[in-house]
Amino acid sequence: MATDSGELRDSGEPIVPGPNSVGFVEKRSATLFVPPNPLRLAGGGELGPVTVSYETYGELSPQKDNAIFVCHALTGDAHVAGWHTPQDRKPGWWDEFVGPGKGLDTNRYFVICANVLGGCQGTTGPRSLNPQNGEAYGLNFPFMTVGDMVEVHAELVRSLGITKLLSVVGGSLGGMQVLEWAARYPAMIQSAVCMATAAKLTAQGIAFNAVGRRAICTDPNFHSGQYYDKPQGPNVGLALARMVAHITYLSDASIEMKFSRRLQVGDRLSYDMMRQIEFQVESYLHHQGKRFIERFDANSYLYLTRAMDYFDLAEGRGSVAQALSQTNARFLVTSYTSDWLFPTIQSKELVRAMIEAGRHVTFIELESAYGHDAFLIEFEWLERLVRPFLEQTLLAVRQSSFGVR
């Protein structure tokens, strides 16, 4: 998803974080699965050591009971909130939702986010060097799944001395990870917030991913994934993949509102086939493609979209209800009226399965014109839901701990 939330600074003046910002934050890194204990992947491969890039916000309580893990979406990263330097152009991708007094209130909670396995923002992925030959993996990176991503993040959480998470929170592919957490580590999470997500991707979603991958793989600069030592990678294909994906993140109404049929130059049509960009919406999409290639790796895009295609919470577990039957976690599920990539009907199916599994679940379809991207944009209602949901979870956890003592 776009990590477009947050303030854009074009003034060049150094940023001075406000009182409701987490302020300046540091990138951290952990080395896990060190041989002879490598990560064993669902597809049969092994990886080790695995580097995990992560950030934390707020303070871990002495009882270590206030940790929340945030799962980022397809093209996100560990930098959820705050600024790395005063020169940053924008803050973390969920800065409006994570900070002092915000939805995930860093005055109360210890928030962790890590780049996913297979990503390209610090965690081991296809661009990393294969320790066996010192070369970038490319397509020799082992096949990986959403389950493998969660496996790595669970190990990170344990390495931080945390045995139970107050909550796991995420949208889209991040929401798939949240569901996988609940199925894979049922005792490790006390609650889960699943936003704009589903127990599996629709065939239409797979179709859009297929087009994106096709654009990358047919780019003459792809070189079967071994493009890292070449002057140029499959930038054209990656930009195309982003363009088509970006359309699926917006709603028809939000594109209409933002651009309608407005022209890029002047108010008269050019009647010129040489002009590739005539309408503003075209310029916007081209710009999205261009910005994306500056920050993302094409091989990561292939691996992560494939992991998304593969994700099926029920697979090997009988059903979605059975997959969620082992956890006592409370669930909060949100969908968005104009999201057609992960439509509300899928959230409802998920909620039905949660109820069937006897889980405590709160569900709301939020009114939004922003399509799938709504979970990165609409915070007012979300905060009103998430804050009491987390408070009640923490209260229940502390009461139960107190009772046990």
Catalytic machinery residues: 172, 339, 372
Residue 287 binds to its own copies (criterion: CB under 8 A): no
- Which is nearest to 300 in space by CA: 70, 115, 151? 115
* H helix or E strand, kind and range, residue 90: none
Residue 83 binds to its own copies (criterion: CB under 8 A): no
Query: Exactly one of 271, 402, 404, 405 binds its own copies (CB under 8 A); which one?
Result: 271
Q: What is the DSSP string of 219-283?
A: STT-GGG--TTSS--SHHHHHHHHHHHHHHHS-HHHHHHHHTT-BSSSSS----TT-S--BHHHH
User: Which span sits near its own copies by CB under 8 A: 78-86, 185-193, 283-291, 384-392?
Assistant: 283-291
Q: How far is the CB of 366 from its own copies (least distance, A)?
A: 20
Is the CB of 172 or the CB of 191 nearer to its own copies? Answer: 172
How far is Cα 30 from Cα 52, in angstroms, rounded to an integer? 5
Residue 314 binds to its own copies (criterion: CB under 8 A): no
Q: How far is the CB of 207 from its own copies (least distance, A)?
A: 5
45, two tokens: 């491969």
Beta strands 67-71 and 167-171, pairing class: parallel
Binders of its own copies in range 129-158 (CB under 8 A): 139, 141, 143, 145
Q: What is the DSSP string of 312-361?
A: BTTTTTSSHHHHTTT---EEEEEEETT-SSS-HHHHHHHHHHHHHTT--E
Residue 309 binds to its own copies (criterion: CB under 8 A): yes
* H helix or E strand, kind and range, residue 201: none
Residue 208 binds to its own copies (criterion: CB under 8 A): yes
What's the angle, vertex CA 326, arms to CA 150 and CA 50, rounded to 5? 15
Residue 203 binds to its own copies (criterion: CB under 8 A): yes
Residue 215 binds to its own copies (criterion: CB under 8 A): yes
Site of interaction with its own copies (CB under 8 A): 42-44, 139, 141, 143, 145, 200-204, 206-208, 210-211, 213-215, 217-218, 220, 236, 240, 243-244, 247, 250, 252, 255-256, 258-261, 269, 271-274, 276, 278-279, 281-282, 285-286, 289, 302-303, 306, 309-310, 312, 340, 343
